[in-house]
Structure 1
Amino acid sequence: MNKLYEYINLILFIYVITLNIMKLLSSTWRSLAAFRRTTAVPVRRFVKVAFSDKYLFYTNVTISLTLSSVGDLMEQTYEIYIKEQTKYDLKRCAHMAFSGVAVGILCHHWYKVLDKFIIGKTFDMVAKKLMLDQFIFSPIMIVTFFGSVALFEANPLENFKEEVKDKFVRLYRAEWMVWPPAQIINFYFLPTRYRVLYDNTISLGYDVYTSQVKHSKPMKTGSEVISKKISQLS
């Protein structure tokens, strides 16, 4: 009889605990649902305004500026981790942010022009946009990137020429590895207003690499290495 009584008490205890847990979960769910209802409308309203024709330019430039900065900070974090530098260089980050502004402006207008003159989402239309993007716009973007950052450096023209000569091919080769598959999705599925947002989201990792290439030392040619060795021996 005592065992039966203990068994009934155990069942009642489990039932009460389960009931309280269910009440807690129900209350939590209702709170989350209420929070979602109260925040969903303002968020949708913000997105609608930010990506409207009136503010789209400013939104695209802000996105590019922000993610270019974040990409450089991620690269600097890695460089600090491997002890290539000891602290964050905020001036360098600001320069990369400015390059993001320049790139954002170009991207905003490029996609509008591209969608205006090449209308549709057939395979042929997407292929045309992809070819124009890779063969015309990508080189312009790389040159713009080096040029915009060089404005803040000593001897900007010389630095610009030197970096384009030494690093252009390296970045352009990387562009072909990243952007063709990404841009197929961009051109086929997304409306014009979201293209720059998509680009910058995809390119966050690429921005890290861009920062790495930009701030890496120039690659020496074989003749330069030999000349240096000879000068050390003489």
Structure 2
Amino acid sequence: MLRWYQAKLAKSPILTSSITSAVLFGSGDVLAQQAVDRRGLEKHEFARTGRMALYGGAVFGPVATKWFGILQRHVNLNSTLTTTLARVGCDQFLFAPVQLTAFLSSMAIMEGTSPLEKWHHSFLPAYKANCMVWPIVQSANFAFVPLELRVLTVNVVSLGE
């Protein structure tokens, strides 16, 4: 299964990462609504799940694929440790705030609410939570996971976040 997936990534990295992200963003929302919030099928917000899948496939998958490639090509220092730390720093202080802003804005637009209000209400708590989890995850991701599997890794970890 992994070889098949890697072959798909090698042939069409953006498309494969987009489909992966759409499926896992949608699955993560189903888990959040059913396993965490215990809404039950009759109270499940299917539109929310659709918005998450759309964002994952249309935005996160392609953007994260390109971002990880940029880091791989352009952030290379004297050792694996310093390279990993520099990539984590770039990811946390450049990519995360931009990606989080894009996510919050996209969700607000798809919900028919104000992107600015959503950002003011949600950005800081979400970014603080991000900083508690992702530096550790991305340290392992950048140090040990092959480039082509990094988007998948982030998506899988996000299921439990």
TM-score by length of 1: 0.63
Matched-pair contact (CA < 8 Å) for 1:103–1:144: no
Q: 2: CA distance between counterparts of 1:68 and 1:181?
A: 21
Alignment of 1:135 with 2:93, yes or no, is yes
Q: Which has the larger radius of gyration?
A: 1
Quick one: structure 1 residues 48 and 127, their matched pair in 2 at CA, closer, same or farther if it must change by over 3 Å?
A: closer
Aligned residue number for residue 122 of structure 1: 80
Quick one: structure 1 residues 80 and 44, their matched pair in 2 at CA, closer, same or farther if it must change by over 3 Å?
A: closer
Matched-pair contact (CA < 8 Å) for 2:108–2:118: no
Alignment of 1:88 with 2:44, yes or no, is yes
User: Which deviations, in whole Å up to 9, do the C-alpha atoms of 1:130-172 show, x marking residues without a partner?
Assistant: 1110011000111111122223222x4xx21001001101110
Matches within 5 A, 1:60-209: 60-77=17-34, 78-81=36-39, 86-101=42-57, 102-119=59-76, 122-154=80-112, 156=113, 159-206=114-161
Aligned residues: CA RMSD? 1.9
Quick one: structure 1 residues 76 and 123, their matched pair in 2 at CA, closer, same or farther if it must change by over 3 Å?
A: same
Quick one: structure 1 residues 172 and 182, their matched pair in 2 at CA, closer, same or farther if it must change by over 3 Å?
A: same
User: Which deviations, in whole Å up to 9, do the C-alpha atoms of 1:85-118 show, x marking residues without a partner?
Assistant: 9521211110111121211121011000110111
Q: 1: CA distance between counterparts of 2:123 and 2:2?
A: 41
Name the % identity: 29
Gaps of 5+ in 1: 1-42, 207-234
Quick one: structure 1 residues 44 and 197, their matched pair in 2 at CA, closer, same or farther if it must change by over 3 Å?
A: closer
Quick one: structure 1 residues 118 and 161, their matched pair in 2 at CA, closer, same or farther if it must change by over 3 Å?
A: same
Matched-pair contact (CA < 8 Å) for 2:14–2:62: yes
Matched-pair contact (CA < 8 Å) for 1:142–1:168: yes
In the alignment of these two chains, the number of paired residues is 158
Matched-pair contact (CA < 8 Å) for 1:126–1:187: yes
Matches within 5 A, 1:211-222: none
Gaps of 5+ in 2: none
Q: Which amino acid aligns with 1:122?
A: T
After TM superposition, what 4+ stretches of structure 1 lie above 4 angstroms from structure 2?
none
- How far the C-alpha of 1:119 sits from its partner, in A, is 2.9
- How far the C-alpha of 1:44 sits from its partner, in A, is 5.7
RCO (CA 8 Å, sep 6+): is it higher in 1 or 2?
2
